[in-house]
Structure 1
Amino acid sequence: MALDAPAPDPPELDGDPDEYDDVTVQGTDYHRDDLQEFLEDGAWEEAFETWATETDLSREAFDIAVDLGMFDRFDFFWDDFADRVGYHAPGLPETWRERDIHPELNSWETVSAINASLAELGAEASRLLKDEYVDWEAEYDAPDDLPDF
């Protein structure tokens, strides 16, 4: 089921990858300016369009995520150690019901769908940025004594 919705504006990259519980990043050059430019030059819209054709997220759940500004809270950064574009996808907290976050948010199913779908969008944008936009090499030199697999 495809999502028929316009792509939100690209997020402004200003988070601190060292503070995310869901990622571990090594290095200090996150290439924020480069990644921001790539997102604004079409990578965000292209990733969104690919994701929208594959997502099971309903338009109602998408609209809730837009209302909550969740697309603005994505973050992307270069992870030199892993030679990848890392990402942090926003998510709804487990306390969503107690916090009365949105009047139309009324089921765990919707919360789970939003969280999973946003993680999938982050993964798609990360993959696209690495494959189609990043033109630099990782600078991390692995130790010589790593085992061969």
Structure 2
Amino acid sequence: MSLDVPVPEPPELEEIDPNEYEDAEVVGDTDYKRQEIEGLLHDGAWREAFLAWAERTDLDKADFDIITDLDMIQQFDFFWDSFAERVGYHAPGIPEDWKERNYHPDLDSWGSVSGINAGLTELGQLVCELLKDDYIEWETEYEAPDDLPDFG
């Protein structure tokens, strides 16, 4: 299945500690390199990843309209995890209490909610992989702790 929609603008990345997300954990002090990642997204990484994702997603136009209405694309966060030498991300999602909160008038089933949440997670993962494989060229400067034993 393919989703034929215009490529939305890439998200504006904010300075948030990724450890505040339930779905992310970054070990140690790190420079999250959000400005650099945001620049790479604007330089083509976002468009390339989005088009690849749209080509294979199971979401339909109605689901994507809900994503657009809720401005979910702008809620993505991408950051550099220097300890793991990877791009981490936080994907937005529709909360479990969507029905009680009347979250969106066109949401009518758990299938749509789980499909949207899974689709956004897949998009986030694809963006991370593309950034790491094709765009990021910086090296992590790992500094060993001072208290390591000297075996020399």
Aligned mates of 2:2, 2:131 — CA distance in 1:
22
User: Which stretch of the first structure deviates more once superposed, 14-23 or 32-41?
Assistant: 14-23
Q: Secondary structure at the match of 2:26?
A: coil
Aligned mates of 1:63, 1:126 — CA distance in 2:
24
Identity %: 58
Higher percent of residues as helix: 1
| 1:81 to partner: Cα distance | 0.8
Query: Which residue number in structure 2 is paired with residue 7 of structure 1?
Result: 7
Specify whether residues 59 and 142 from structure 1 end up closer, same or farther in structure 2 by C-alpha distance, changes over 3 A only.
Answer: farther
1:134 to 133, 136, 142: 136
TM-score (norm 1): 0.92
| 1:120 to partner: Cα distance | 0.2
- Aligned residue pair count: 145
Q: Secondary structure at the match of 1:125?
A: helix
Counterparts of 1:11-90 in structure 2, within 5 Å, are: 11-14=11-14, 15-26=16-27, 27-90=29-92
Task: Mark the structure with the bigger radius of gyration.
Answer: 2
Counterparts of 1:97-108 in structure 2, within 5 Å, are: 97-108=99-110
Deviations 1:90-149 (A, max 9, x none): 00000000000111011000000000000000000000111111111122357889xxxx
Q: What amino acid does structure 1 have at the position aligned with 2:12?
A: E
Query: Which residue number in structure 1 is paired with residue 96 of structure 2?
Result: 94
TM-score (norm 2): 0.90
Aligned mates of 2:140, 2:115 — CA distance in 1:
34
| 1:28 to partner: Cα distance | 2.3
Cα root mean square deviation, aligned: 1.6
Q: Secondary structure at the match of 1:96?
A: coil
1:111 to 97, 110, 113: 113
Q: What amino acid does structure 1 have at the position aligned with 2:50?
A: F
Deviations 1:71-92 (A, max 9, x none): 0100000001111011110000
